[in-house]
């Protein structure tokens, strides 16, 4: 589980005033060249590379870059994507995100992602895992706005602590939410809050049951879902180490997973994505090249 085998950063080497207020706003449009990144407005150390097109011109693969590699106390990152109809964007990251140990002032470490997907557009939000270091203090928000016939596949994988180093989340606090609205109406909202009042969730039967890795995959809206698709997903969950399950919530498919190994969870989510993608958007899976490095 090398992905979570990190050395603890030395907080003393960072100035107490050191913090980033960064944002990145992306605008995608449709042209004769397919789906193109028309605008890229940013402040602070938050960028994207030039889009890649391994599937052809109509699907843009975009790699989100955050050179500092993680959030320290007081940091705030805001990521926003806007598309026009009939565009297809896949956003991922080259490596794990990190939220480092909070400083004594316990200032929040925040990241907000807002994805606006209009009718006939597709968004795939497939970042690599986020590692929450022992004693971090973070708030992570994912807000998805779908309109009309827009479609979405996305996931969030979170590792609490550094289990490969035998370090748990300690006195860390985390407030995570993932919500989807369709035409302004709230359709799905998942939230996990770990603080001094709810720390028992880490070990509780109604919580993470002692598993340091928590994952959520969402896909939809589907016009209809064949039972064979759900059976395939359930079979993949059963074959995977850890605790995983699939449910259908109205027109969305929701997969929740708990594990001791983030790499195994990523493999499970990738396998499920490979099943769901052709059903939802009529395209076979094409993994971003950065995943193979």
pLDDT < 70 stretches in the chain: 1-18
pLDDT score recorded for residue 10: 37
CA distances from 55 to 22, 40, 90, 209, 223 (A): 31, 22, 11, 40, 25
| Residue 73 and residue 38 in contact, taking contact as beta carbons nearer than 8 Å | no
Give, as one character, the DSSP assignment of residue 292.
G
Comparing CA positions, the residue from 132, 285, 158, 291 lying closest to residue 219 is 285
Output the DSSP codes for 254-270: EEEEEES-HHHHHHHHH
Tokens 């195994």 belong to 264
Instruction: Give the chain's length.
Output: 293
3-state SS of 19-45 is CCEEEEEEEEEEECCEEEEEEEEEECC
CA pair distance 257, 166, nearest whole angstrom: 21
- What's phi and psi for 4, nearest 5 deg? -115, 15
Comparing CA positions, the residue from 79, 171, 93 lying closest to residue 129 is 93
Radius of gyration of the chain (CA): 19
pLDDT score recorded for residue 69: 82
Tokens 């300690």 belong to 170
pLDDT score recorded for residue 18: 63
- What's phi and psi for 98, nearest 5 deg? -140, 140
Give the distance from CA 239 to its chain's centroid.
23
């Amino acid at each position: 589980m090398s992905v979570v085998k990190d050395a603890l950063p030395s907080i003393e080497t960072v100035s107490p005033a050191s913090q980033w207020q960064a944002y990145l706003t992306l605008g995608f449009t449709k042209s004769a060249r397919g789906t193109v990144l028309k605008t890229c407005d940013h402040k602070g150390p938050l960028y994207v590379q030039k889009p890649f097109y391994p599937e052809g011109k109509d699907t843009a693969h975009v790699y989100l870059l955050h050179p500092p590699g993680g959030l320290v106390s007081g940091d705030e990152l805001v990521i926003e994507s806007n598309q026009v109809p009939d565009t297809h964007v896949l956003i991922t990251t080259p490596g794990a995100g990190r939220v480092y140990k909070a400083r004594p002032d316990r200032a929040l470490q925040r990241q907000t992602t807002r994805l606006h997907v209009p009718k006939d557009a597709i968004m795939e939000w497939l970042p690599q895992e986020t590692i929450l270091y022992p004693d971090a203090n973070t708030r992570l928000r994912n807000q998805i706005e779908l309109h009309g016939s827009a479609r979405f596949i996305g996931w969030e994988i979170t590792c609490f602590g550094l289990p490969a180093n035998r370090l748990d989340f300690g006195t860390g606090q985390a407030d995570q939410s993932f919500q989807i609205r369709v035409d302004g109406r709230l359709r799905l909202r998942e939230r996990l809050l770990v603080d001094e009042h709810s720390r028992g969730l880490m070990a509780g039967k109604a919580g993470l049951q002692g598993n340091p890795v928590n994952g959520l995959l969402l896909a939809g809206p589907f016009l209809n879902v064949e039972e064979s698709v759900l059976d395939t997903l359930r079979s993949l969950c059963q074959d995977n180490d850890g605790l995983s399950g699939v449910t259908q919530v109205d027109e969305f498919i929701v997969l929740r997973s708990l594990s001791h190994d983030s790499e195994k969870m990523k493999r499970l989510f990738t396998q499920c994505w490979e099943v769901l993608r052709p059903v939802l958007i009529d395209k076979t899976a094409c993994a971003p090249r950065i995943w193979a490095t």
